[in-house]
Amino acid sequence: MDKYVYKAYGLIIESDFFIPEFIEFQGQPVVFIKYGEVKPFLENPDEKRIRFEAAKDEFLLKLEGVAKFYVANGNEIIVEPDVDAEMDDIRVFLLGSVFAALLQQKQYLVLHGSSIVVNGKGILFTGSSGSGKSTLAAALCKKGYKLLTDDLCAIKLNETGKPEIIPGFPKLKLWKDSVLLLGENIDSLTPIRSKLQKYRLDAAAVFSQDSVPMSKMYILCDQSNSELMIETVQSTDKLKELITNTYRYRFMKAQGGRSHHFKQIAAVANVVDISKITRDKKLTTLEQMLTLCEEEINTVWER
């Protein structure tokens, strides 16, 4: 069987199947994505909910109509597709929750958000689903800033203990309304799944392949009736915000990463400024957001 080799999140990955979202690469793989039989359950899960189970260095996700996924030791993902599964469906969940579990096992800090590079520094936009992270990142990329990650943001502490954002892969995931808002031609894009009006925007031309120091985090909040405003998150509230915006905090906790996670978010809180941008998505235009963000990120650089 032909194998595919890629690089994503700083890892060389060998896969049994084609993953067009990732960048092809040559080298010695450290992560292996394989077809295979997935065990029905974990022996001693620390956390077991409706469709996932997690234990130290083990993770299981079962999705009817798509696949079963098993992740172990930060180096192996086994995929058992359902009979009528489409590859697109499998990849959407592989690149979401499943990869997040792998990165957590690798002891990366995984935050929920999209990040870009501004003058060599990493800026992360986080916030809950639908808060506009990807749309804003995409709009900034159109203005020439480089993309680091979309959706899952992997962070590692460097040898001096400072957080660095590791580039993910050069794609952005956007709903149809955002694609249209950005003025992209929808006909030239492929939906992430045939059943959804959500698309992958290619960002290969504006993708940063190098890790950069993380310097700023913005939390996007969509709140009914709110004016567009920006406020600094006080140091005492930073840890709470970092926990809230940790991707699938529960997986990580169950996979034995809790104390490590705390060290990581403390290191981030030490050097990263955090601000909250609140607005009502119905009242604030993307242009207004862009103007505010560009002003903001340029002051980050001046400081």
Partner 1 sequence: MGEIIWLASYPKSGNTWFRAFLSNLLSEEGDTVDINHLETDGIASNRILFDEMTGIDSEDMTMDEIDALRPEVYEYIAEALTKTSFVKIHDAYTHLTDGRPLIPSYKAKAIYIVRNPLDVAVSFSYHNNSSLDKTIDNMAKDDFCFCSRPIKFHTQLRQKLLSWSGHVDSWFDNNGIPVHVIRYEDMKNKPFETFKKAVEFIGLLCDDEKIKNALELSQFERLKAQEEKTGFREKPTNMNAFFREGKTGGWRDHLSEEQVSRILEKHKRVMKNLGYIDENNNIVF
Number of residues that bind partner 1 (CB under 8 A): 35
Say if residue 175 is exposed, middle or buried (CB neighbours under 10 Å; 0-12, 13-18, 19+): middle
Q: Which of residues 208-237 bind partner 1 (CB under 8 A)?
A: 222-225
> Which CB atom, from 61 or from 203, has the smaller least distance to partner 1?
61
Q: Contact letters (x/-) for partner 1, 77-116, by CB under 8 A?
A: ---------------xx--xx-------------------
> Which CB atom, from 146 or from 171, has the smaller least distance to partner 1?
171
Q: How many residues does the chain have?
A: 303
As a whole number of angstroms, the distance between CA 280 and CA 169 comes to: 30
CB neighbourhood size of 152 (10 A): 23
Helices in 129-248 by DSSP H: which ranges? 133-142, 176-181, 235-244
The type of residue at 24 is E
**In this structure, what token pair is assigned to residue 280?**
């009502």
Report, in Å, the least distance between residue 212 CB and partner 1: 26
As a whole number of angstroms, the distance between CA 84 and CA 86 comes to: 7
Told to check if 276 binds partner 1 by CB under 8 A, we report no
> Which CB atom, from 29 or from 96, has the smaller least distance to partner 1?
96
Q: Contact letters (x/-) for partner 1, 8-37, by CB under 8 A?
A: ------------------------------
> Which CB atom, from 188 or from 224, has the smaller least distance to partner 1?
224
> Which of 64, 84, 159, 302 is in the footprint of partner 1 by CB under 8 A?
64
Query: Residue 252 in 3-state DSSP?
Result: helix
As a whole number of angstroms, the distance between CA 189 and CA 199 comes to: 6
Say if residue 69 is exposed, middle or buried (CB neighbours under 10 Å; 0-12, 13-18, 19+): buried
> Which of 3, 39, 56, 195 is in the footprint of partner 1 by CB under 8 A?
195
Binding site for partner 1 (CB under 8 A): 49-52, 61, 63-65, 92-93, 96-97, 128-130, 175-178, 192-193, 195-198, 222-225, 248, 250-251, 280, 282-283
